[in-house]
Amino acid sequence: MPRTDGARVLADLKRLAEFGRYKTGVHRPTYSPEDVASRAWLAGQFAAAGLDPVIDGIGNVIGRNPGASRRLLVGSHSETQPHGGWLDGALGVVYGLEVARAIGADPALSGLGIEAVAWADEEGHYGNMLGSRSFTDGLDEAEIAAATSREGKALRQALAEAGYAGRDRERLDPSRYVGYLEAHIEQGETLERGGMRIGIVEAIIGSWNYWVTITGEQNHAGTTQMSRRKDAGRAMVRLATQIDDGFAAIAGPRTVWTIGRMLLDPNAPSIVPGRAEMQVQFRDTDTRVLARFEEKLQALVAAAARADPCSVTIEPMSKSAPAAMDPSFQSLIEEAAERHAPGRHLRMPSGAGHDAQVLSRRIPAAMMFVPSLKGISHHWSEDTAEEDIVLGAQVFADAAAAILTAG
């Protein structure tokens, strides 16, 4: 089995965190000068590990391994959220690098190879998982031409400033790989609370989103009799409560739902709101549960429309399908975890989206989690215990070697 060097993993993670350091975290938005510098540094590390690095036209850094006869693609994204943590993405990239080194150094594994990758813009500064979608033919030039950052900067401009404009975009050749493997911090507290050290992802959740619009009649809050009102705000709050109760009654063990956005128009203390909007989202790994939630939501909206003097309508906004992880890869990760952390690993869903869901549409893919301290992520204080980072690297390398040697 390959031998990882825990001190080297920690040193590389700390070096990578210097690009855009912010307090104990990192501010490294995609295509910022810090991000571009970190990608150049990663390409150098991939080269030092014996790989042929390419930084492509969307900013993906890929360490090619032309000599291997069987290859596993391993990595994650390397940019961060604004004022985000030092491990989200970076952990999986550095594990990929370390596994490439460890497998490359093991004579028993000759002919088997890792291609390490740092995807661009998983965090959505300019789009949604731009790098992995570009690699899997899911990103066309029209979308690139139209994409802008939240601050209004055009993606094309950002790519030009980064020096990536005009480069080819690397594309997946599915016959080149046994599959794709990604490590990530959990970003929740399931592992920590259960005293677990490794998570084996069974599936990445699908997220279904809806826009509910309520139209009433705007009027004076002092002179309009209660019986004559068409109060869109009251109708929305009532419906929101019914949705929450209704969902709770039919939820699966890990379904989550959120009404994360509500608007009143006008939003003023002495006006009966004439219009209200809310966005309803639910997530699960099981499409049947998602379909059940959709049916419930439609029924509640229809009932509210009948019962209330306001009109109530619903429109679907987006639906992402749950992504199942490869069952045989899951078993091999689990065996590796059992070897190094007996009884302290857990099969679980991923509540957050990851590049692995994009890759899983084209090649077998799997993910491994390490615990997040207090479940904090997307914040500069995000952290993981050093001994968990070190253990995770070895489990991950064992799993990668087992996947490469299997079948």
Binding site for Zn ion (CB under 5 A): 88-89
16 vs 314, beta carbon nearer Zn ion: 16
Classified as helix, coil or strand, 262 is: strand
89 vs 233, beta carbon nearer Zn ion: 89
Minimum distance of Zn ion from residue 77's CB (angstroms): 6
Minimum distance of Zn ion from residue 264's CB (angstroms): 34
232 vs 367, beta carbon nearer Zn ion: 367
232 vs 359, beta carbon nearer Zn ion: 359
Distance of CA 45 to the CA centre of its chain: 24
Closest CA to 180 of 117, 131, 101: 117
DSSP 269-292: TTEE-SEEEEEEEEEES-HHHHHH
Encode burial over 243-282: b for 16+ CB neighbours within 10 A, e otherwise.
beebbeeebeeebebebeeeebeeeeeebbbbbbbbebbb
89 vs 96, beta carbon nearer Zn ion: 89
Minimum distance of Zn ion from residue 79's CB (angstroms): 9
- Cα separation, 63 vs 290, whole angstroms: 38
Minimum distance of Zn ion from residue 89's CB (angstroms): 4
What is the token pair recorded at 96? 């990929």
Single-letter code of the amino acid located at 307: A
Q: What CA dihedral angle connects 359, 44, 370 and 121, to 10 degrees?
A: -50
- Cα separation, 238 vs 358, whole angstroms: 38
Distance of CA 111 to the CA centre of its chain: 32
293 vs 369, beta carbon nearer Zn ion: 369
The answer to whether the beta carbons of residues 214 and 192 sit under 8 Å apart is no
65 vs 128, beta carbon nearer Zn ion: 128
Minimum distance of Zn ion from residue 186's CB (angstroms): 11
Minimum distance of Zn ion from residue 355's CB (angstroms): 8
56 vs 88, beta carbon nearer Zn ion: 88
Minimum distance of Zn ion from residue 123's CB (angstroms): 7
The answer to whether the beta carbons of residues 369 and 199 sit under 8 Å apart is yes
| Bridge partner list, 180 | 73, 365
Minimum distance of Zn ion from residue 90's CB (angstroms): 9
